[in-house]
Amino acid sequence: MKNYKVLLFYKYVKVENPEQFKDEHLNFCFNNNIKGRVYIAEEGINGTVSGSNADIEIYKKELKSYPYFSNIVFKEDSEEKIAFSKMHVRVKKEIIHSDLDIKSTEEGGKRLTPEELLKFYEEEKDFIIVDARNWYESKIGKFKNAITPQMDNFRDWKKVVDEDLIEYKDKTVVTYCTGGIRCEKASVYMVEQGFKDVYQLAGGIVTYAKQFPDTYWDGSVWVFDDRFVVDYNKTNEHKYITDCQFCGEPTSYYINCHNVECDKIIFTCHNCKKEMDYCCSDECKNAPQKRPRYYG
């Protein structure tokens, strides 16, 4: 039995006093052994937290005790250890940085359930599916036939829509991301720009891949905690979409180069990671300043 859980959650909703919530919530997490990262803003909440099974149940009740979070949806993974080493609760201008001047997410794309997306694929519906995540996230996992814009961060979405996706204005377009937070806001901007038939994948990749592994999601899911990646697929046919940049073996693992002046993202197998001393090149391997290792 796995004794720990990781919760992924977000909600766009008006929060009256983010600073007060931050103080209360951080204190609660410290007192209840919860670790992770929570962002709070006037537009809502975005978080990933981890703790023991019992502590996570207490945490869920606490968060839902706030009226504006009473119907928040949690995505849960069971794990063998806690997925964070610290706890942060921070007030932000946006719960996901976008630089999009969006006043409300209520007029966004229609919510598409995992069952409906599966049906789109199986019935060979004429649709476009677009990844709203960063380029390096889609490097290790993506939906079949997905468009994967080369975004360094979500602030690039406006440019992607205005310049790269404009030809699909009259098509059925499905946006997706890890848990739903980015594709919800991404779909709003597309609707505002006159796209005719826009959907957002409800619950994101995590919800789809857990329900329908080894179907139309290929590869692994990039997560921003100490797990690095999560694998929901079981067969090699669907488990890997990239190779180790050193030996060419299939992999879904990544690290940042441990040369502090480089920090380049490396897609590597575990053997090559160790052989290269957690670095991207021989030059970085011999660099004078390298970050400490917190994992094997």
Q: List the catalytic residues.
A: 177
Distances (CA, A) of 230 to 140, 142, 164, 233: 10, 13, 30, 9
**Residue 87 pairs with which residues in a beta bridge?**
36
**Residue 78 pairs with which residues in a beta bridge?**
5
Q: Are 160 and 133 in contact (CB under 8 A)?
A: no
Give me the DSSP letters along 235-274: SHHHH-SEE-TTT--EE--EEE-SBTTT--EEE--HHHHH
The C-alpha atoms of residue 217 and residue 208 are separated, in whole angstroms, by 8
Residues 6 or more apart in contact with residue 137 via CB below 8 angstroms? 131, 178, 222
The C-alpha atoms of residue 209 and residue 239 are separated, in whole angstroms, by 11
Sign of the dihedral defined by the CA atoms of residues 146, 150, 152, 158, in that order = negative
Q: Are 5 and 53 in contact (CB under 8 A)?
A: yes
The C-alpha atoms of residue 40 and residue 31 are separated, in whole angstroms, by 19
Sign of the dihedral defined by the CA atoms of residues 30, 32, 34, 37, in that order = negative
Smallest Cα–Cα separation from 182: which of 162, 164, 160? Answer: 160
**Residue 45 in 3-state DSSP?**
strand
